């Protein structure tokens, strides 16, 4: 395990402007302290001598700009409070390391919950529902970090939001209004128009899984969101749901494939290739994308314009849906001996200016409503799509996290690969095979992993 000390203990004269609970110096002492600076907070907040460990993974350390910004903010917190913060970079091993530490009940003071705050780490998380920043939470991410008892298990610096990304220039040139796409029939009509004008309607990347698995997260729109035509939440949770008898999702994607609307190199195109395709002006939609992807696409094709819409409703009048999950989210261990210092660090990171700086570096969607990085075009496009959807919009957690047993991610990938593994026009004949494969693994893993 690679450990990196990002801060050192500083003298009391370096307390700075940070204000939070856990003060070890009274207001009067702060006023008379001969070493106090002019910018010292009236509360005299100090965590001198306090040491906390923060375990992170690739949502932070996977991108150098993000990691540099996070390190900078940690440094500033340490300078202002005197705390010593040890940031442990677990990288791609973070999940397994956390499982081991849960088993031994030896959790770090703070840790990234990587999508599993309420579903896996709940018993280990301090309840954050009483914190000031809760009133500023975006409703979408709030729904996935709050358990059934109202406990908020983690603090979202960013959130993942997934819908359908499109090339705005292509749609405009073909007289297609993306905000008029309310259901899948509307999307199919748009695809027909693009095809007639020589544009490949859809792109998808199958190399290393990529969007093969991602598109299956849209199962929410068919089975679980408010107003879904086949609502079966309880059946999914108790294991009685039968995917071989509910193939509506696979039927739809077989139709899209059989219409010849995808790129021909599904299994060799990686995500970078897909991003470049959408920016080339030769493709219309990416069926599984996030606002953060738009920033990446702009880096490849700076002159191209993009947008995002929620996954269309299955039936007319139903709800369109965004899949929302935890981005960079930090929980506090309820066994930490320094909970007040940890809460102070969260307050610091969620300060409007600090979080704006982080989201600008990360390109992610902020978890708080009052943070709007001025240069985040993707954030503005997302907000515009939500406004256009009006009341007919729903938010859901990632389908596999909420309703499927552990181990289904690869099964989801293989299921879609089976559907596409043949000539255009034949996918409809493989729906039963793909559904049976998914159902068999669903039942097996449910019995094994719960």
Q: Closest by alpha carbon to 350, among 329, 377, 376, 374?
A: 329
Q: Which band of pLDDT confidence, cut at 50, 70 and 90, is reported for residue 375?
A: low
* Domain 2-156+328-363 shares a fold with domain 161-324+388-449: yes
Fold of domain 2-156+328-363: D-Maltodextrin-Binding Protein; domain 2 (3.40.190)
Which fold is adopted by the domain 161-324+388-449?
A: D-Maltodextrin-Binding Protein; domain 2 (3.40.190)
Q: What residue segments make up the domains of the chain, in order of their start?
A: 2-156+328-363, 161-324+388-449
Length of the chain: 450
The answer to whether residues 273 and 205 touch, using CB atoms and an 8 Å cutoff, is yes
Distance between CA atoms of 308 and 385, rounded to whole angstroms? 7
Using a pLDDT cut of 90, give the percent of the chain over it.
Answer: 70
- For the question of whether the overall pTM of this predicted structure is more than 0.85, the answer is no
Mean pLDDT, range 260-286, rounded to an integer: 96
Query: In this structure, what are the phi and psi dihedrals at residue 54, rounded to the nearest 5 degrees?
Result: -120, 115
Greater confidence (395 vs 338) lies with 338
60-115 tens-digit pLDDT: 998 899 999 999 999 999 999 999 999 999 999 999 999 999 999 999 999 999 98
**Whole-number pLDDT of residue 31:** 36
Is 29 a residue whose pLDDT tops 70? no
Least confident of 5-19, 130-144, 426-440: 5-19
**Comparing 440 with 376, which gets the higher pLDDT?**
440
């Amino acid at each position: 395990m690679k450990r990196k000390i990002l801060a050192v203990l500083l003298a009391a004269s370096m307390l700075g402007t940070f204000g939070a609970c856990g003060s070890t110096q009274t207001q009067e002492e702060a006023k008379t302290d001969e070493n106090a600076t002019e910018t010292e907070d009236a509360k005299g907040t100090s965590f001198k001598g306090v040491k906390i460990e923060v375990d992170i993974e690739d949502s932070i350390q996977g991108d150098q700009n993000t990691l540099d910004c996070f390190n900078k903010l940690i440094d500033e917190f340490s300078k202002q409070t005197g705390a010593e913060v040890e940031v442990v970079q677990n990288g791609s091993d973070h999940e397994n390391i956390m499982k081991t530490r849960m088993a031994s009940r030896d959790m770090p003071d703070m840790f990234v919950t990587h999508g599993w705050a309420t579903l896996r780490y709940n018993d280990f998380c301090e309840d954050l529902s009483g914190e000031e920043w809760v009133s500023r939470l975006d409703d979408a991410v709030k729904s996935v970090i709050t358990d059934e008892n109202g406990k908020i298990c983690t603090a979202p610096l960013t959130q993942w939001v997934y819908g359908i990304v499109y090339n705005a220039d292509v749609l405009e040139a073909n007289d297609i209004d993306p905000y008029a796409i309310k259901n899948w029939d509307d999307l199919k009509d748009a695809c027909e128009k693009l095809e007639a004008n020589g544009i490949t309607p859809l792109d998808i990347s199958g190399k290393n899984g990529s969007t093969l698995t991602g598109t299956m997260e849209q199962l929410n729109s068919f089975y679980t969101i408010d107003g879904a035509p086949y609502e079966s939440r309880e059946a999914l949770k108790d294991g009685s749901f039968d995917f071989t008898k509910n193939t509506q999702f696979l039927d739809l994607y077989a139709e899209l494939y059989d219409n010849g609307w995808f790129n021909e190199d599904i299994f060799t195109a990686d995500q970078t290739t897909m991003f470049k395709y959408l920016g080339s002006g030769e493709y219309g939609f990416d069926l599984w994308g996030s606002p953060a992807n738009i920033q990446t696409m702009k880096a490849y094709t700076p002159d191209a314009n993009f947008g995002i819409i929620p996954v269309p409703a299955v039936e007319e009048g139903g709800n369109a849906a965004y899949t929302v999950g935890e981005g960079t989210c930090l929980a506090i261990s309820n066994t930490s001996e320094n909970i007040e210092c940890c809460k102070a660090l969260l307050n610091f990171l969620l300060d409007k200016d600090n979080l704006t700086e982080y989201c600008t570096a990360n390109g992610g969607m902020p978890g708080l409503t009052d943070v709007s990085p001025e240069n985040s075009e993707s954030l503005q496009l997302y907000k515009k799509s939500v406004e256009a959807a009006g009341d007919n919009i729903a938010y859901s957690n990632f389908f596999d996290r909420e309703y499927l047993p552990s181990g289904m991610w690869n099964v989801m990938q293989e299921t879609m690969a089976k559907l596409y593994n043949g000539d255009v026009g034949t996918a409809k004949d493989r729906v039963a095979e793909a559904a049976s494969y998914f159902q068999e693994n669903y039942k097996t893993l449910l019995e094994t992993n719960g």
